[in-house]
A and B are shown apart, each in its own frame.
Chain A
């Protein structure tokens, strides 16, 4: 850890030699203003939803609408449990489903995509390059397009109305394979792998103890994206039993109780935002690094 810090300091020191000329005061001012304005655009909807979740009913329905809350209340949050009591299945069940599915998809996808990327990155077979081409083309398609034929396959496999119907189709997402492959190309030195092979390590061991630790930034980023998508999953015609449905479905039910509940819907929205943000905070420093390797094509 300390060594790492030292390294960072060294790099910082080097950079200082190339420090650009300082900006003039006016330029500095412009710079900060532009950033602040742009940043405001980014966070405004977020702030708005947090603020709205604290609004009492009369302020929610006020016209013209006000951005800020004048008399904040916790009512929207405190009423949530009683609203949730009206659901057909206990709320904890929805929460469990969402968490279980998200974690299963995230872990499964990282492993499946990592293994596929391992082959794609190390084999020079013609077939493999065709597969990688297919991966890139597949990035273009929106998954929904395949709804009907996919349903047929689900029913043939007999996985309709089980957890599998959420998890299995999400595991093969091509974005992950693409990202992992690009990162592996850059950050796993071929010489290191050869050395490991000479020392008698099997491919299995190389993958788990050498490659995966080296590409940690990539799979952390990947888990962020996978978790984000999995967290928002809503079954469309593939799940019929209520106790297998996810949190977004429960939220739709709250929203269905009408405009008087719009405050509670906002409150629920704010709560639903928290888990992906937590995952982001964990993986945050690695996201940048991975995305930069995605840029190094060919």
Chain B
């Protein structure tokens, strides 16, 4: 009896291993191994031995990283730039998709059409298509809000408001990015809608019986019930933005890699990923522990 049970478990294990094998090979070969190697590059002096076609690495410790923080003129600026832009893009995207998600969750005619429209950018906004859309001169003019026909130029409005240069340039940057922001919302909206649909209808009924208005309903039922989804959306948005190859640190790193600067590229990107990972982890912990715990009570 015992023996056959063991056989059964072994058979099960064998099948499990067999099923995961194809993916595992690819994962190790094309992801894990390169990942480790690029991490080695970060801490070493890399030279190429062209005769044998291999990289020769010599351990140099932290000096590569030090180079970027003390000698490189642009890297730290880029890093700070990217990280600060996340501070406003992530909350904006989350808020926008929450609003749209709540609106699209209502019952009205043509809801499916609207949902498709809001998901459309996810499908087409990749690769070449996006490059040309962004590269087009007219599209750029449109994005900066100056081609609305009547000549409403946002930068002029801002200037006339006597704002300090810092504030107005930040605002202008935000207006420039508004299309990108909207186009980054697709998946998040879907996540919010599905989160909204999993809220039991009875809770709203209780609200109505107790005489809560819509505003209170949102803050005391919808929002707390969505806390899990919100966290997921925050993490998803952060990952989407952090790994977007368009941001400054990434572009700088890729250019270095393209010019065969063997250790520079990996070092820049690893430092960036390490920072981002740490920030993301901290943020998630903080949100989970402080804010949502409070909401739940």
Contacts and interface: CB of A to CB of B under 8 A. Distances in A.
- Our verdict on whether A and B bind, yes or no, reads yes
A200 interface: no
A39 B142 contact: no
- B interface secondary structure, majority: helix
A146 B30 CA distance: 9
A152 interface: yes
Contacts, number: 252
A76 B109 CA distance: 37
B31 A276 contact: no
Interface in A211-234: 224, 228-229, 231-234
Interface residues of B, number: 95
B127 A150 contact: no
A155 interface: yes
A172 interface: yes
A26 interface: no
Interface centre among B41, B194, B280 (most CB of A within 10 A): B194
Contacts of B138: 48, 52, 60, 65
A140 B38 contact: no
A168 interface: yes
B94 interface: no
Interface in B227-258: 228-229, 232, 239, 242-245, 250, 253-254, 257
User: Which 9 A-B pairs have CB atoms at the shortest separation, nearest pair first?
Assistant: A232-B127, A292-B194, A172-B26, A149-B34, A116-B23, A146-B34, A65-B138, A149-B37, A119-B20
28 contacts: A18-B204, A31-B108, A41-B182, A42-B121, A46-B124, A48-B138, A65-B137, A65-B141, A116-B22, A123-B13, A131-B24, A140-B242, A141-B31, A144-B245, A147-B254, A148-B266, A149-B35, A150-B30, A152-B55, A153-B29, A169-B30, A174-B31, A203-B12, A234-B128, A280-B119, A288-B190, A292-B195, A295-B232
Interface of B: 12-13, 15-17, 19-20, 22-24, 26-27, 29-35, 37-38, 41, 53-55, 96, 99-100, 103-104, 106, 108, 114-121, 123-124, 126-129, 132-133, 136-139, 141-142, 146-147, 149, 151, 178-179, 182-183, 187, 190-191, 193-195, 197-198, 201, 204-205, 208, 228-229, 232, 239, 242-245, 250, 253-254, 257, 262, 265-266, 269-270, 273, 276-277, 280
